[in-house]
Amino acid sequence: MKFKRGLGIFLFLIGIFILISSQSGMTGNVVSDRVSAVSSILGLVFIIGGIGLMMGQRDLIDLEYIVNGANKQKDSIFVVDADGAIKYKSKLVKKMRDFKGEIRIPSMVLEELKEDSGVMKQLKELEKKKVIRYVNGTPRYKEISENVLKETPKYKSYFVLKELLLDPKKAKKMSRIEFKPYRKEYLKILGKYLRKERDCIKKNISKEQFILRELDQHYDLKDKEVEADTEVLAVALSEARKRHNANILSEDRHLKQAVNLIKSKYKLIGSFLHCPEFREVY
């Protein structure tokens, strides 16, 4: 799991050594400019390659590890999100059949999964071995979930950026400190629009339409995705309320932020709510 990171550190250290050595020979004498330049470039290549490996996408954790963690809990269930099923689809049957509890799949998530025949095949196989319930979140918990999701940093950032991009005067009124968290994405999206403004005019795409499309792609907060997140959290909350350990199988940052908010505000119900990490934490 951590091989890439280890290799990255090794390459980084080798690069540093080559870069230092390129400035002088082992005896301390200055080497030729040509050799020094080649060595410097080689050293930089190793350093950049090492940093790239260290900062690259973290390795996916084996689903068996997540299932084993859930099996240690009392009255544990899994609430499956679409990205969770898709990420692990080739291993769902093999790994989840060892899970001692039940599996819940919200109806909105099921609609998304129907578009992936590989996942649906895995679920049908899993139905023969495990208790899978296709459920709807109750209106009460849907309302709670919707309100919590609106409090997440991801959701707030989306709406602040939307407001600033559609009304640049508001950005000018913000102090430098207030604007700092949004500056990078603001300039990125605005710059992209300015570069494609002529094409947008030709294709009859308004500035508002372009900005909303870019924000949706970046934050993945389209209505369909938000409704699915709301239902996943609602189902998990209803189970946690019964003091069942509800494990949300999802890599969605929006859901993880919502779970952390609930844990910080509502200690008791939060203690039964879990969103296991999908990837190695370095």
With vertex at residue 202, the alpha carbon angle to CA 201 and CA 203, rounded to the nearest 5 degrees, is 90
Instruction: Compute CA distances 58 → 50, 55, 86, 87, 138, whole Å.
Output: 14, 8, 17, 14, 35
- Average pLDDT by consecutive 10-residue portion of the chain (282 residues)? 60 70 53 57 67 56 83 90 82 80 89 87 81 84 90 86 85 85 87 89 89 81 78 94 92 88 91 81 40
Q: For residue 238, which of 274, 264, 276, 273 has the smallest C-alpha distance?
A: 273
Look up residue 209 and give its amino acid: Q
Q: What pLDDT is recorded for position 237? A: 94
Task: For residue 249, give the DSSP letter.
Answer: E
- The CA distances from residue 52 to 8, 18, 59, 97, in Å, are 7, 18, 14, 37
The domains of the chain are located at 1-56, 60-146+223-274, 152-219
pTM beyond 0.75: the answer is no
Contact between 236 and 273 (Cβ < 8 Å): yes
Query: What is the end-to-end Cα distance of the chain in Å, rounded?
Result: 10
Angle 235-236-237 (CA atoms, 0-180°, nearest 5)?
Answer: 90
* CATH number, domain 60-146+223-274, options 3.40.50.300, 3.90.45.10, 3.90.1170.50, 3.40.50.1010: 3.40.50.1010
